[in-house]
Amino acid sequence: MKRFRVVFVLGAVVIASLAATSIHFYQQSVDGQRLFMQVAGIVNSRFVDSLGASGVYEKAASGLVEQLHDPYSELMTPKDVEGFARAVEGKYGGIGATVESRTGKRTFITKVYPNTPAEAAGVIEGDQIIAVDGVSMVGLEMGDVTSKTKGDPGTKVNVTFQREGVPEPITLTLTRALVRIPAVPFAFMAEPGIGYVPLQTFNETSAREVTDAVMRLRAEGAKSYVLDMRGNGGGILQQALAISSLFLKPKQAIVSVRARSGVVEADSAMGPRLDGEFPLVVLTDDGSASATEIVAGALQDHDRALVIGERSFGKGLVQQTFPLDGGYLLKVTTGKWYTPSGRSIHRDRTLRPDGRFVETPVDTVKTPLPRFKSDAGRTVVGGGGIIPDITVMADTISGPEQEFLRVTAAQGGLIINALVDEAQRHKAGLAPNFTVRPEWLEELNRKLDSAGVKTEPRMKSARDAVLTRELDRRLARVAFGDSGQARHDMKNDEQMQRALNLLRANNTQSGLLAAAVRR
């Protein structure tokens, strides 16, 4: 009987302790609410500038999210939600062009998408937007200009352009349309037998676009492929799963999520799959993030692709979105992503006031990066991000070139204007394998000198190198489009050249992986 009484007493103690904890938590909650309401009331009634009741609460809510010190959690305003939806869905109501801002807050067209109102109306790269619906856009921020051109599909907008070589402004009436930004903007044979597929985002049609590109290139004779995901910041998770499934065997693991609760959720390959075990290279860089890292990590862990390039960004946090009253949206981190071998994709960073993400430094001598094994027993390295099987750093500009760019930073708009003018002047009759002629560079330098962009004689070599490279890039784009520019630039792309060299010498995936180990 005594033993049962002891158990009863211990149970009573536990219940009392839980009750005390609950009361304490409730009291803290009440005290916190009281403090907040007192501060909010004083700010709303006494602060020198009126915020309005809704403004007070919005700032308080934003402050709460900021104090989480998580750069990926955010409270989005209704305006932010519109931009977020466009990025996720890959479409918006507009004219179908991208722009850039130059000297004096002038907004210029930098790209016209195919099958869009802008293309149909004859808008070209280099056109400056000077008015929208009769209202001057000169001197306005780029975001203010683009917001005027966007709107509901089917509505009309009058845009006035200033075009180089045309004395009078050109006013065009465009009917806004649902503009879809392609996930795979183009695909082509990099050389006989090797297909090139650039994947620039994960929108709602990414998997279908990758499938279509691979199948079309296969019909053209492709036996192996390069999937270029450099600069791809991610997007829809379901599309990452679908694209991984294209290359993996059914039921192979793709990614797992570990939440605060300790619950692990895993996703595996399922759905449509591309036939064949063709050799595959994936290219990554420090701009490859999120959904891109899921695909690259899964293909690497299962030995389905050889990863070449630079360590990826390392965004391995899972966000969930919660719609709120008034059109607001709360995006909160709820878990972390892990590759099939158990590698954490995430690299810890802090968000600085200037908007830069800065990685938390790790002494890899004292704390070596963790090692994991692929399905075939290859070593894959963890520690955040996807570390390539073969690291090939992107070309970096030299010290003197960096100095030239720094010295002329305030005159960047003048330099861009001159580059655009020269590219438009020489694009006619340009051969795909062109090189920048010395006389073109001399004329460009004369224009820049006349515009006041002058540098010391010791910088001549660096100046010529930068201007030649930029003129070459812009010429290729205006003459041959994005696809033509990619073809043209490939000869100077060391990461791509390494991929091509390995694919030429190996006609199986196992041979490709073995060659990487032997290098």
CA dist 297 and 291 (Å) reads 10
- Tokens for 461, please give them: 């070599």
Active site residues: 290, 301, 315
CA dist 233 and 201 (Å) reads 7
Taking the CA atoms of the chain, what radius of gyration do you get in angstroms?
Answer: 28
Q: DSSP letters along 305-337, please?
A: -EEEES------EEEEEEE-GGG-EEEEEEEEE
Q: At what angle do helices 509-518 and 494-505 cross, to 10 degrees?
A: 120
**Inter-CA distances, 499 with 39, 53, 306, 360, Å:** 60, 58, 9, 31
Angular region, 119: left φ>0, alpha ψ -120 to 50, beta rest: alpha
At 260 the three-state DSSP class reads: coil
CA dist 213 and 5 (Å) reads 75
Decide if 142 contacts 100 (C-beta within 8 A).
yes
> With the C-alpha atoms ordered 402, 403, 406, 410, is the resulting torsion angle positive or negative?
negative
Half-sphere exposure of 149 (CA within 13 A, CB side): 28
At 239 the three-state DSSP class reads: helix
CA dist 165 and 428 (Å) reads 15
Q: What are phi and psi of 517, to 5 degrees?
A: -70, -35
> With the C-alpha atoms ordered 28, 32, 35, 41, is the resulting torsion angle positive or negative?
negative
CA dist 362 and 349 (Å) reads 11
| Cβ atoms < 10 Å from Cβ of 132 | 20
In 237-290, which residue ranges form alpha helices assigned H by DSSP?
A: 237-247
- Tokens for 363, please give them: 């002494």
Which H helix or E strand runs over 365? none
Burial of 352 per CB tally in 10 Å (0-12, 13-18, 19+): exposed
Q: What share of the chain is helix, strand, coil (3-state, %, to 5)?
A: 45, 20, 35
Q: At what angle do helices 237-247 and 206-219 cross, to 10 degrees?
A: 30
